Amino acid sequence: MPAPSDAIAHLRHVLADEYEAFAQALCTVPPVSLRLNAAKSASKPIFADTTPVPWCATGFYLPQRPSFTLDPLLHAGAYYVQEASSMFVEQALRQHADLSQALSVLDLCAAPGGKSTLLVSLLNADSCLLANETVRSRAHILSENLAKWGSPHTAVTCNDPAQFAALAGCFDVLLCDAPCSGEGMFRKTPEAAGEWSMANVQLCAKRQSRILADAANLLDEGGLMVYSTCTFNPIENEEQVACLLQHTHFDYVSLRLDLAHFPQVVETCQTLPNGKIAYGYRFYPHRIEGEGLFIACLRRQDHPTTPQRTTKPHRPDKNRAVNAKERQALSAWLDQPKDFEYIQHLGEYYALPHALWTRWRKWANNPLLYWLNMGVKLGKLNGNNLIPAPELALSTALSPHINTIALSHEQALSYLRKEEINGHLPTTSNTWAAVAYEGLCLGWVKILQGRLNNHYPKEWRIRMNS
C-alpha cells in the first residue's frame, strides 16, 4: 500500500536529499531477523546461512523468510522473530546499565514482547523485569510470548502508565517503547501507511507526552530511561525527550557507535535552551538492514517525588501464602524448588524467584495493578495433585525429572493445532506428561487409556496447514 500524499510530503521534509533512496528501500523485501534464546537454543544452530545482527549478540539475519508458524521451535521459545533495528535496545543497556548488579526493570509499553524478551535475556539471576501493556488483548499476547521465552524472572501487568504512580523510584531501568504513528513500519507493515495522518501524529505525540510524564517518577536516582519509537517524526521523537529534559531532572546520555559494525546509524545532537545536550539515534531502512527506529537514553539525576497515598479498595485480598503441604506438592515440579517463594493468586499457584518475590511484594502493594502473570505459573491444585499450567511446561525452571514424551515434527504440529496425536502411545494412564520437540517442551498432555488428551491452550493453537 503506497503512502498517502501528505505522508510523502512529511517524509520528504524529514529526510531531505535522502528521501528518494528511502522511497526505493520501501519497495524492497524487508530483511528477516530473529533472536536466539540462549537459555533454550545455545546447544546447536537452528537455521543455516545466518548473518549476525551487528548490535545484538544473539540476533541473526536469515537469507529468506521460512514458515515460522510451522516451526515447533518457535512455539517452544527457542527464538523470537524480531525486527533487527529494535534489537539496538541491547546497546543502551550494555553501555549504560550495570548488568552485573541486581536491577529492577520496567518495560512500560511492552506488547507484543520482543523488547521484553531481549531485556530479560540481558539481566542476571538477581534482577527482574516487569512488563506492562495497556490494551488487554495485547497484554495477553505479551504474557504468552514471555511464557514461551521461559524466564522465571518476569511479571506481566495490564495497566495504564498512570496507574504505576505509587511505585515512584522503584525501578533502575525503564523502557518506554511508545505507541507511535508507525512511519518506520511502512515497508514491513504496508497497512500502516494507509492509517497514517498528521492528525494521528499529533494524537500520538500527546499520548507519548503523557506516558513520559507518568514514567519519569518511576525511576530511582541514577536510573536509566530508554525511549524509542518506530517513526521518523521529530514531534514524536526528539521533541518528546527534549521536553522531558527541560522540565525534569534528567540528562541525556550518548551511545558509542562502533563505526566498524554499524556506521549508518544516524546520531542527532542539539543543545537545548537550558544548556543540556540532547542525543538521539535514528535507523532508516535505506541506510541499515532493518526498519525505522528512533532511540534515546536519559539518566535521572534526582530523587523521585513521594507518591500520593493510594487508598486500597475494599475487596478480598487476591494473594495467599501457601502452606507446607501445598509447597511440597508444588516443589516436585521445579528444578530448584528452594530458589522460589510460592503464592496463590486468584486460585492459581505461582513460584517466584527470591529476587522477584522481594520486589513483587512491594509492587503488589499498589492495588491498582492487574496481574496477568508473575514468576512461573504452576497451575491449580486438586488435593495434592497439580493440574499444571501451560506456562510451567515452557519455563526454564521446570524439573528435568518430569515425565516427557518426544514428538516428531508432524506430531508436534498436530499438538500445536490442538489435534489428536497419532503414533506410539505410552501405556501408563491417568498421568500428566510434557511433550517436547527436539528436547524443548511445548506443553502438557494427560495420558489416558489408549490416547493422549491434548491440553495445549486453545487460544495459542496454530491454524496454518502444512
pLDDT, one tens digit per residue, over 96-119 is 999 999 999 999 999 999 999 999
Q: Are 349 and 343 in contact (CB under 8 A)?
A: yes
pLDDT of residue 237: 94
Long-range contacts at 326-333 (CB < 8 A, ≥ 24 apart):
326/381, 329/381, 329/384, 329/385, 329/386, 330/378, 330/381, 330/386, 332/399, 333/378, 333/386, 333/388, 333/392, 333/398, 333/399, 333/402
Q: Is residue 187 part of a domain?
A: no
Tens digit of each residue's pLDDT (9 = 90 or more) over 182-231: 998 888 887 888 888 889 999 999 999 999 999 999 999 999 999 999 99
What are 439's three cell numbers? Answer: 528436547
Q: Which residue has the higher pLDDT, 279 or 132?
A: 132
Number of Cβ within a 10 Å radius of residue 137: 10
Omega of the bond prior to 112 within 30 degrees of 0, cis? Answer: yes
Q: Is residue 221 part of a domain?
A: no
Q: What CATH number does the domain containing 407 carry?
A: 3.10.450.720
Tens digit of each residue's pLDDT (9 = 90 or more) over 388-404: 999 999 999 999 999 99
Q: What is the mean pLDDT of residues 244-267?
A: 82
Of the candidates 92, 91, 101, which has an alpha carbon nearest to the alpha carbon of residue 124? 101
Q: Which residue has the higher pLDDT, 310 or 245?
A: 245
- Residues ≥6 apart with Cβ < 8 Å to 182: 189, 192, 195, 196, 230, 231
Q: Which residue has the higher pLDDT, 272 or 361?
A: 361
Angle between helices 5-15 and 19-26 (to 10 degrees): 130
Of the candidates 307, 379, 328, which has an alpha carbon nearest to the alpha carbon of residue 162? 307
Could you give the CA distance from residue 392 to residue 394 in angstroms, rounded to a whole number? 5
Antiparallel, parallel or unpaired: β 154-157 and 128-132: parallel
User: How many domains are contained in the chain?
Assistant: 1
Could you give the CA distance from residue 231 to residue 408 in angstroms, rounded to a whole number? 42
Q: Is residue 421 part of a domain?
A: yes
pLDDT of residue 358: 96
pLDDT of residue 271: 82
Average pLDDT along the chain? 91
Could you give the CA distance from residue 419 to residue 456 in angstroms, rounded to a whole number? 9
Q: Which residue has the higher pLDDT, 315 or 464?
A: 464
pLDDT of residue 43: 54
Q: Which residues pair with 378 in a beta bridge?
A: none
Single-letter code of the amino acid located at 22:
F
Of the candidates 338, 330, 335, which has an alpha carbon nearest to the alpha carbon of residue 381? 330
What are 251's three cell numbers? Answer: 540528562
Q: Is residue 283 part of a domain?
A: no
**379 alpha carbon, distance to own chain's centre:** 23
Q: How confident is the model at residue 4 (pLDDT cuts 50, 70, 90)?
A: low
Of the candidates 47, 76, 69, which has an alpha carbon nearest to the alpha carbon of residue 60? 47
Q: What is the mean pLDDT of residues 68-83?
A: 97
Angle CA 161–142–461, to nearest 5: 150
What are 164's three cell numbers? Answer: 504505576
pLDDT of residue 90: 97
Q: Is residue 413 part of a domain?
A: yes
| Residues assigned a catalytic role | 230
Q: Is residue 302 part of a domain?
A: no
Q: Are 272 and 240 in contact (CB under 8 A)?
A: no
Could you give the CA distance from residue 215 to residue 107 in angstroms, rounded to a whole number? 10
To the nearest whole percent, how much of the chain has pLDDT over 70? 94
Angle between helices 198-216 and 238-247 (to 10 degrees): 30
pLDDT of residue 238: 92
Of the candidates 262, 183, 250, 182, which has an alpha carbon nearest to the alpha carbon of residue 212? 250
Tens digit of each residue's pLDDT (9 = 90 or more) over 285-312: 999 999 999 999 999 998 888 766 555 5
Q: Is residue 453 part of a domain?
A: yes
- Residues ≥6 apart with Cβ < 8 Å to 358: none
Q: Which domain holds residue 457?
A: 403-466
Q: Are 264 and 258 in contact (CB under 8 A)?
A: no
What are 260's three cell numbers? Answer: 566498524
Whether residue 313 is predicted with pLDDT greater than 60 in this model: the reply is no
